[in-house]
Structure 1
């Protein structure tokens, strides 16, 4: 469990997210060429409506990460195989039962939410969405197992392969079948991910078949207890994405929902470039704490170092993204759409604020202290529901998005505040004040680029290109002089030769 392994996992996760972002861009470019933005919104709404069935998973996927990491940290590969096998059996049974019971409710919900002319396609897509949900939920057990084995490089490779399969399937099926082609595309992608993840996980664990079918009552209770906390958090997540899409459809229409789906998926992909690296902290810290003599001190040190690095990285990264939004969205859609930019800007602000709580959230998961992580997710869900509904009544679809951004920013702060109070950490400990000029420059640059785009009457891609290029150059120059980055480079130079030998 060396820093070299942590660095490898983080690097592969970031690389996978970056390549997947390019593939996602290409996928939606294909979709909006062959189907309408309202069709994209229809598929997004159908997929979001079925996600409630994920509650039946009881958070066992997250439990697999922590317990497999801890088992392997003690050198107990057989216990890790038992954990994965039990989780797989429980998850498969529960997701199948939940999908069968909830399917009629999903149908009724779509009949209420969709315009009459969109309902036939929506009901056809619903069958594919439920089947895809079952397959991806099962696949998630194996993907979580790879995380627990600290083989995020293999997980990243599997998910990247799935993204490639999804794009190829869409190129074949969507031109021929329109929006209904998205159903088979999702099934093909889910099957690929499930099969590949299962084969890799089984080969990596290298345990007899009997271990996979062993029932350990004590571990089952531990899994359910830990997963139950995560599942309460999942309720908050379900109050977020499906709620936003339902309210957007109600207050703004399916086209508005389609723009949100594209903008939000893009921002989640950008956010994943940072969050996926911090996600590697969960198995790393969980395994390391098994042999630690100073758990509290180790967690505190990891947090301060990771937050300082995140502060500098996030301001530079999100600043460049904000400046590039007009260019990227115009290139993606094929023309400039002010509503698309407004939606993307609100998503950008909400997920930027939420990204800053990453170290505290993931470290709580790593140490098995779920109280504040769960509270944060529930708070996000409840605030999103309240703000999005209230502001939607007042301002329509734009109000829904403002409410969701506020819910993300305010609710996510729960874990950050709790972690600082619990570990007696002040802002002075974790904010590198030498990075404040960088933060200010990024905020000003991104705001100027977005405001410039809004005020142009006939904007072109060339006009949009100069802003992000300038902001990017400034960010790179200022990052080079940040002490936290110089310290990281020094440490990497010390680690890499030993890792390679």
Structure 2
């Protein structure tokens, strides 16, 4: 996969390799852990764990976008050789966010308890309240470590950061298996808290190694550093706040209308898709700082197009294989062909494939500090998730909610893609059918989508028509969306 990546400095390639390694190992850990938990605790408790994590993640609103700002400014000061200023940026971020976040975490505990009454059935409420404090502790430790991770990224050492994260994932797996045997779901929550604490300590040592001016414990707050960080952070935070609401709302809708067992299998399918997609994202994530190091539109255009082309070359076959593998994954992971898991996986894979191919637009917007269109896109995605998700709940299929939420996600990311490409490439023109047929990218897309159609047709003849009607719908949407993306790449290169 790395051979296909755009030509970047050696350290960037090294960062990409370790990012991919961390993502793959994290996915393996998750696979083993969920398989164990499904056998030991059952679908109800696994679904409850997914819901608690989604609910507590709302408290990440308190991070206020400082992680992105920390990476941006530390990268700039490290590039200028000013380690003292870079250290002041990290200390100021930690003092601004981590300490007040303790108060927010306590408030989130009371808020989350109220939310649990709305989305968790009465028999599971006691257990939900039991694991909530541990989940919130993990959240606070995770938010604090995210600032340190961003600082290490800004120093250009994603490789060292990912080494620490790999070790913490192994700790999580071992701890969860050991503690779940005696303490059930609460043991899993305790193991996650231990993991995040271990990661925080390890990351802080790496940060002090890279920024020699950092003290053993942060204690300095600089007003002028806060002002420059906040100006950028707040412009990005609106989109982040809205984005954090989407996953809990989706899971709340599923829990409310379809139950925790359905949510458990959806969560497993969601983890498969997002973890596999994150392998692709990790390989290209090191590109984000490249956009911020120059204001040259020519460089931005070239970087955008090369990234997008390689994303198409890698992402399309990669996720297409995943789509066709969900039955095998179900047999391996669950022990049977679980239709909720398989169909959810097909819907999620189709939508995230399109979003993945659109991700260079997001990289460009983040790297150049354009927070407003990201916020607009997230608002559109949130409103679409609520409206189309509720509409889907009244459809004559239990997958209506998923289809509605997936549609909202795709439409929001198409908006971001159109905004970014219109900024980069001023002249646009209508694509004719003959141009599409001559476009080698589109021919490649149609070849992959034809293979998927044949796969689903064979599967259709052997199974129930209702489930696979949904698969055909996803496949058709993928064909149209990806063909337009491919055509845009070809057109913009001219």
TM-score range relative to shorter protein: 0.7 to 0.9
- Give the Cα separation in 1 of the matches to 2:80 and 2:365: 21
**Residue of structure 1 in register with 2:26 after alignment:** 20
The answer as to whether partners of 1:322 and 1:450 remain within 8 angstroms in 2 is no
- Give the Cα separation in 2 of the matches to 1:396 and 1:84: 50
Q: SS at 1:209's partner residue?
A: coil
Match of 2:212 among 206, 217, 221: 206
- Give the Cα separation in 1 of the matches to 2:452 and 2:276: 15
The answer as to whether partners of 1:150 and 1:284 remain within 8 angstroms in 2 is no
- Give the Cα separation in 1 of the matches to 2:57 and 2:321: 32
The answer as to whether partners of 1:392 and 1:400 remain within 8 angstroms in 2 is yes
Match of 1:57 among 63, 75, 79: 63
**Residue of structure 1 in register with 2:444 after alignment:** 438
- Give the Cα separation in 2 of the matches to 1:383 and 1:100: 31
- Give the Cα separation in 2 of the matches to 1:338 and 1:456: 14
Give deviations 1:399-438, integer Å, cap 9, x for gaps: 111111111111111221011111226599xx99323333
Matched, 1:367 2:373: no
**Residue of structure 2 in register with 1:312 after alignment:** 313
**Residue of structure 1 in register with 2:224 after alignment:** 218
**Residue of structure 2 in register with 1:329 after alignment:** 330
- Give the Cα separation in 1 of the matches to 2:218 and 2:38: 44
Q: Extract unaligned runs of 5+ from structure 1.
A: 459-483, 485-501
- CA RMSD after TM alignment: 2.3
**Deviation at residue 209 of structure 1 after TM alignment:** 2.7
**Residue of structure 1 in register with 2:84 after alignment:** 78
Give deviations 1:347-394, integer Å, cap 9, x for gaps: 111211111221111121112122222222222222112111221133
Q: SS at 2:156's partner residue?
A: coil
- The within-5 A match list for 1:371-450 is 371-395=372-396, 397-424=398-425, 433-450=439-456
Give deviations 1:35-64, integer Å, cap 9, x for gaps: 111111101111111111111111111111
Give deviations 1:111-169, integer Å, cap 9, x for gaps: 22211111110110111111111111111111111111111111221221121111111
Higher relative contact order (CA 8 A, sep 6+): 1
Q: What TM-score comes out, normalization by structure 1 length?
A: 0.85
Of 166-175 and 201-210, deviating more is 201-210
**Residue of structure 2 in register with 1:176 after alignment:** 182
- The within-5 A match list for 1:141-290 is 141-207=147-213, 209=215, 213-286=219-292, 288-289=293-294
- Give the Cα separation in 2 of the matches to 1:349 and 1:20: 22
Q: Quick one: structure 1 residues 139 and 445, their matched pair in 2 at CA, closer, same or farther if it must change by over 3 Å?
A: same
**Residue of structure 1 in register with 2:484 after alignment:** none
**Residue of structure 2 in register with 1:474 after alignment:** none
Matched, 1:121 2:140: no
Q: SS at 1:75's partner residue?
A: coil
- Give the Cα separation in 2 of the matches to 1:277 and 1:394: 39
Matched, 1:92 2:98: yes
- Give the Cα separation in 2 of the matches to 1:454 and 1:98: 50
**Residue of structure 2 in register with 1:344 after alignment:** 345
- Give the Cα separation in 2 of the matches to 1:420 and 1:457: 42
